[in-house]
Structure 1
Amino acid sequence: MKIKVYYFSKFLSVIAFWLALSSFINPVITKAQLTFTVKNTLDFERSEVVNISAKKLVKLLKTASPDHIRVRELGKTLNLVLQWVDENGDGKPETLLFKPTVKAKETAKYVVLLDSTTLVTQTELTTYSRFVPERTDDYAWENDKVAFRTYGPDAQMRAEKKMPNGTLSSGIDLWLKRTSLPVINEWYKGYLTDPNYYHKDSGKGYDPYHVGASRGTGGTGVWEGDTLLVSKNFIHYKTIATGPLRTIFELYYAPYGRYNVKETKRISLDIGSNFSKFEVFYTSSQKLPNYTMGITLHDKKGEINVLKNLGIFIHHEKIDNSYIGEAIIVDPKIVKSAFANKSQVKDQSNLLVLTKPQKSTTFYAGFAWEKSGQVKDSNDWENFVKKQRTIIDNPLQVLVK
C-alpha cells in the first residue's frame, strides 16, 4: 500500500493568487491580536523555525480562517513567511510555523493578527520532500542547504532479482547542493533522459556519494556481537508537510533481524538547517541490546571524531578532492559507545553510535560540502557541528502572553 503524497509546494503560486483575490473580495482586518516574545539565550544572532500551537490562537481563529493569520515583528509592517502544519491529516492545522530573527542574548517581540488585506511574504527558498516514482521508488527531501534520499520496495525488489536500478539499502544518501534553490524535481527530470544526469555537477551540485548497503549518514540498526542488523528498504511512506519552512514525512519498515525490530521514522528538515531530525519509533519481540545509528566510512581513508560527552560523532572525508563533513548528534545521556567498524566486506564499514534502547530515539544527521561555501575544512565542520549542538540544547523560547 502506498499513501498519497500531497504536492503542496507545486501550488504555492496558485494559492497565493487566490488568497490575494479573496482578500480584496472579502477583506478581513481586526484590531484583535496576540503579542508574544522570542528569547535567544545564546551569544550569537539566530534565525530559526519556531512554532505556536493553534490552541493558542483559538480566539483569533473563531472569526476567520488560518489563511487570514499574519505574523509581524512588533511595530513593523512586514509580514513574515508562515507555514501551517496539519500533523494528523484531519484538515485542521495544529501548528503555525514562522522564522524570527533574534540578536544575541536578546528578546524580540512579535504579534499574531488577522489581516487579509496584506499578503503573507513569499520566498523562493523552501523545504520539499516527495516520493519519486521516476527512479523506481526513492523518497527524497531537501531545503536551501542540503538534500537527502532513501529507497523503497521497488528498488529492493529490483536488487533482489538482479534487475536494473536496484538498490537494497535503508541507508541515507546525500545529494551535494551548491544552490539555495530546489533541485529534486530538476535532477529527477534530467534522469529520465540521462541516468547519469545528477551524478554530474552542472553548477548546482551533484550526487557522488555512495551508499550501497552502508548506513550512509543517519541509517539505523542494532549491533549484535560483530554484526550490524539492519532493515531492508522502506515499505510505506507518508508525506505530512512541505512548505517554505519545514518538510515532514514518515517512513515505515518491515520487521528485521532475530529481534523483529519494526521501525517508523518521522523525518523533518527545516529551512536553513544542514541537519535532518530523525524521530524513530520502534518495537521488538525481544529486549534489544542497543539501538544504533551510523555514518559510512566509504573507502576508510577519512577521519572520525568521537565527542561522546557532547553526543557528537563526526566523519571527515574528501569526495572528488573536495571536502565533505558528516555528523550525527544525539543526546549524550543515552549513548553507550561509539566506534569505527572497519570491515573487509563492501559497504560494511561504518562509524557506529550505540544508544540505550528506548521506545523512541531522536537524533540529527547532516553534512556540509566545501563547494557549497558553508565550510572550508574539518575544523570548520567541527565548529559548525558544536554550534548546532548548542542550538539544539537551547532552542529559541516562544513566550505567548
Structure 2
Amino acid sequence: MKKLLFFIAIALICFACNENKTVTVTVTNPAAFERAAEMVEVSMGDVNSKLQLADTSQIVVLDADGQQIPYQITYDEKVIFPVTVQANETAVYTIQPGIPVIFETKTFGRCYPERLDDVAWENELVAFRTYGPALQTTGERAFGYDIWTKYNTTEPVVEARYADELNVEARAKIEELRKIDPEAAEELYRSISYHVDHGNGLDCYKVGPTLGAGASALMLGDTIVYPYCYATQDILDNGPLRFTVKLVYNPLTLKRDSDVIETRMITLDAGSHMNKTVVSYTNLKEVLPVATGIVLHEPDGAVVADAANGYISYVDPTDNVHNDNGKVFVGAVFPASVKEAKVVLFPEKEKKELRGGADGHVLAISDYEPGSEYTYYWGAAWDKADIKTTEAWNRYISEFAKKLHTPLTVTIR
C-alpha cells in the first residue's frame, strides 16, 4: 500500500511539473517605430525540447495579460504568432501546454483546376493568383502575378468568386441570352463575374504577357527571360495565419546552361500586404542578373524606384478605368542590396505586338549567384480599402523595408 501511494505521489508530481512547464518568448523591437501585429516564428523543436509534449498541437500562446493569441505550426515546424511591440521596447509571450481556442482563418488558398490551374490565395486584406499549365496549353501568355482587391470583409472571398464566375448553369444561360437578349445576357454576366465589384472587391488588375505585380525573372543582358506558367504546385501551409505554396517551373536553356529549373516558395501571412518569395535556380552555372518587375499601364505613372533603400512601387490605374475601380498600389521590397532600380519602357512595336499594350516595367535588378536563394517581398493594396493614398502606400513600403533591415529579435527560454 505504501508503495502504491508513493508511485501515485510521484505521478502527481510529474504531472504538476509538466503542467507548470512554460516557454518564455521575448521579442525586442530595435526600431524607432511600433511593430503592430507582426508575425514572429520560433522553432517547434526548441519549444518542445522544453515542454516535452506527446501532442505538439496541444499548446497555447499567451500574451502579457495571459490571453490566448492565434498561432500556427507551419510545415517546416515553426510556431508563428502575431506580436505588437512598441518602439525600442520588449514584449513577452508565453507558450505552454493547453487546449487552444479555434482561431479565425485569415489565410487560404488552393489550386483551381476548374479555372485552368490557377493557384489563388488570400489573407484578410488582399488576394493574389498565379497561372498554371492548363492556361499555358491554351497559348495565352501570362507570366506575372495577379491581384484581386478586397474590402468590407475580413472573410475569405476567393472560393466564392471562383464559384460564381465558373457557374456552369449561369454560363449556359448567358450564352442562350446572347442570341435573343444581349442586355439580359450582359446583366446576368455582371451578376456572376469577379471582374465586377459585388461589395467586397474584384479582379481589376491587368497582368497580360508581363511580370505583373512583382514576378521575378532572369535576364540575358537587357532581355528579360519571362517565366511561363508553373509546372507543379504544392501547398505547404494553409492557414489560419500563413499560406505557403511551392511552385516548380519547366526547364529552361540559358546560354550554355540547359535544364535550368526555377523553384519559388511564396508565403503570405495574416495582416500583411506583402508576400515573401524565395527563388532558386538549379543547374545554373554562372552569375546572371535577376529582375523583379511591376508592369506599368501608364508611361508617366506614379513610380518609385529606390535602389538605395531597397524598394519599388507603382500606382496602377486598374483595368477598365472608367468603371470606378479606384487605383491599385503595387510594390516590392528587397532585404538584400539592389544593384539598380529603374523604369524600362517597351519599344512601341513590342508594346503593341508582345505586351498587350502595357507601357513597360519598373524593375529592381540584382545579381543571382548559382546555388543561392533570391528573397524579396511583393504585394498590393487598394485605395478603396485600408490604404487610401499614394503617400500612405509609399510610407507602408518604406517602413516595410526598414522592418526588414531592423528585424525583431526573438529569444526563448
TM norm structure 2? 0.81
Tell me whether 1:398 sits opposite 2:402 in the alignment. Answer: no
Q: What are the equivalent positions in structure 2 for 1:341-360 lying under 5 Å apart?
A: 341-344=345-348, 345=351, 346-347=355-356, 349-358=360-369, 359-360=372-373
Shift of 1:317: 2.8
Shift of 1:29: 7.1
Shift of 1:42: 2.3
Matches of 1:104 and 1:121, distance apart in 2: 30
Larger radius of gyration: 2
Shift of 1:141: 1.1
Matches of 1:243 and 1:28, distance apart in 2: 32
Matches of 2:229 and 2:145, distance apart in 1: 11
The C-alpha deviation readout for 1:226-280, integer Å capped at 9, x for no partner, is 4321121100011110112111111111123534442100000110000001100
The aligned residue for residue 10 of structure 1 is none
Tell me whether 1:96 sits opposite 2:79 in the alignment. Answer: yes
The aligned residue for residue 310 of structure 2 is 311
Q: What are the equivalent positions in structure 2 for 1:1-400 lying under 5 Å apart?
A: 30-46=19-35, 47-74=37-64, 76-87=65-76, 94-116=77-99, 120-159=100-139, 167-178=140-151, 179-193=153-167, 197-259=193-255, 260=258, 261-319=260-318, 320=321, 322-331=326-335, 333-344=337-348, 345=351, 346-347=355-356, 349-358=360-369, 359-372=372-385, 374-400=386-412
Matches of 2:247 and 2:155, distance apart in 1: 25
The C-alpha deviation readout for 1:288-322, integer Å capped at 9, x for no partner, is 43011100112435221111100111112322351
AA in 1 matched with 2:40: V
Q: CA RMSD in A?
A: 2.3
Identity %: 29
Matches of 1:112 and 1:225, distance apart in 2: 51
Matches of 2:109 and 2:22, distance apart in 1: 33
The aligned residue for residue 9 of structure 2 is none
AA in 2 matched with 1:153: P
Q: What is the count of residue pairs matched by the alignment?
A: 358
Matches of 2:166 and 2:300, distance apart in 1: 34
Contact 1:146 1:175 in 2 (8 A): yes
Shift of 1:285: 4.4
The C-alpha deviation readout for 1:122-178, integer Å capped at 9, x for no partner, is 34351112111121100011111111101111110012xxxxxxx432310011111
Unaligned runs of 5+ in 1: 1-26, 88-93, 160-166
Contact 1:310 1:332 in 2 (8 A): no
The aligned residue for residue 23 of structure 1 is none
AA in 1 matched with 2:145: I
Matches of 2:297 and 2:380, distance apart in 1: 15
Matches of 1:293 and 1:400, distance apart in 2: 36
- Runs (4+) of structure 1 exceeding 4 A deviation are none
- Aligned in 2, Cα 1:156/1:104: closer, same or farther, shift over 3 Å? same
- Aligned in 2, Cα 1:226/1:277: closer, same or farther, shift over 3 Å? same
Contact 1:339 1:353 in 2 (8 A): no
Shift of 1:332: 5.2
Matches of 1:323 and 1:285, distance apart in 2: 39
- Aligned in 2, Cα 1:168/1:69: closer, same or farther, shift over 3 Å? same
Matches of 1:357 and 1:125, distance apart in 2: 36
Matches of 2:46 and 2:335, distance apart in 1: 30
Contact 2:335 2:401 in 1 (8 A): no
Shift of 1:333: 2.0
Q: Secondary structure at the match of 1:206?
A: coil
Matches of 2:399 and 2:376, distance apart in 1: 15
Shift of 1:40: 1.6
Shift of 1:286: 4.9
Q: Secondary structure at the match of 1:30?
A: helix
Q: Secondary structure at the match of 1:108?
A: strand
Q: Secondary structure at the match of 1:182?
A: coil
Matches of 2:30 and 2:106, distance apart in 1: 27
- Aligned in 2, Cα 1:238/1:289: closer, same or farther, shift over 3 Å? same
Contact 2:18 2:51 in 1 (8 A): no
Matches of 1:302 and 1:329, distance apart in 2: 19
Matches of 2:53 and 2:307, distance apart in 1: 51
